[in-house]
């Protein structure tokens, strides 16, 4: 049983909840390992079509645990590298999970917490949520979370928020692309989540996974190679069992079989 994490699957939706409310769901080595394991396992479970990541208590995730940070002060360079690699693996596991991952953000999402939001595919945030790449205030940098942040907000916004380390609200987070939607209250956030979940579950499960993988593959491809890559991917989907079912159901004016599950 995880110590700091709750995981439940209901109606094809996996809900992962950070559960260190007394510490604003701040990271330590145990929580990082538990999140990594949970997303690795959920990525392999067919019954989970969508994953919603939330935080218990007053905050989504306030970054690094103070007690964990105290340990880092005494670490050698090699120990710090090993420690940072565990966080990097966690973020990569969230980002690379074959299932759509949606962050449900309230309260504080700071430092590594903002990085987790960036690693997710989508995010809804309450109007009252606070974000920030706050590492420079501590004399360090948002290095491990930077690949995901740059993917989401781009270099222009990173040059401001990495260098100022200022905190910013949900409206600005949406403006720069960190979150997908801002909700005035929990009821509105839940309604948005349910609509997005409904939309995702209307699609072929394998197609959703393939579409998610396509994004990074196209972005990483060189221009001369991208036409061949994309032609191969669409051809593979067309001849797949799921692709055949989707095309035939459309032509026959019926619902595809995956909507029955």
Domains of the chain: 5-200 (3.90.226.10), 204-260 (1.10.12.10)
Per-residue pLDDT tens digits for 152-190? 999 999 999 999 999 999 999 999 999 999 999 999 999
Confidence check: pLDDT of 10 > 80: yes
pLDDT of 261: 55
Per-residue pLDDT tens digits for 110-158? 999 999 999 999 999 999 999 999 999 989 999 999 999 999 999 999 9
DSSP the chain: --SSEEEEEETTEEEEEE--GGGTT-B-HHHHHHHHHHHHHHHH-TT--EEEEEESTT-SB-SB-HHHHHHHHT--HHHHHHHHHHHHHHHHHHHH-SS-EEEEE-SEEETHHHHHHHHSSEEEEETT-EEE--GGGGT---TTTHHHHHHHHHHHHHHHHHHH--EEEHHHHHHTTS-SEEESSHHHHHHHHHHHHHHHHTS-HHHHHHHHHHHHHHHHS-HHHHHHHHHHHHHHHHHSHHHHHHHHHHHTTS--GGGG-
């Amino acid at each position: 049983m995880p110590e700091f994490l709750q995981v439940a699957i209901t109606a094809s939706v996996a809900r992962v909840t950070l559960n260190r409310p007394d510490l604003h769901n701040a990271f330590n080595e145990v929580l990082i390992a538990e999140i990594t394991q949970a997303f690795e396992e959920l990525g392999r479970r067919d019954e989970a079509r969508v994953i919603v990541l939330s935080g218990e208590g007053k905050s989504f995730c306030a970054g690094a645990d103070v007690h964990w940070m105290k340990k880092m002060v005494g670490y050698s360079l090699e120990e710090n590298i090993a420690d940072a690699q565990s966080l990097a693996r966690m973020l990569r596991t969230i980002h690379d999970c074959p299932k759509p991952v949606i962050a449900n953000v309230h309260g504080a999402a700071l430092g590594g917490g903002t990085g987790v939001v960036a690693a997710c595919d989508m995010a809804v945030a309450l109007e009252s949520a606070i974000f920030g790449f706050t590492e420079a205030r501590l004399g360090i940098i948002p290095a491990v979370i930077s690949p995901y942040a740059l993917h989401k907000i781009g270099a222009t916004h990173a040059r401001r928020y990495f260098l100022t380390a200022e905190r910013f609200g949900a409206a600005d987070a949406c403006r720069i692309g960190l979150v997908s939607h801002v909700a005035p209250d929990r009821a509105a956030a839940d309604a948005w989540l349910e609509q997005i979940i409904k939309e995702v579950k209307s699609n072929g499960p394998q197609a959703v996974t393939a579409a998610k993988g396509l994004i990074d593959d196209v972005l990483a491809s060189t221009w001369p190679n991208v036409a061949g890559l994309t032609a191969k991917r669409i051809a593979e989907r067309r001849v797949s069992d799921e692709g055949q079912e989707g095309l035939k159901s459309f032509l026959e004016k019926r619902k595809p079989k995956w909507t029955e599950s």
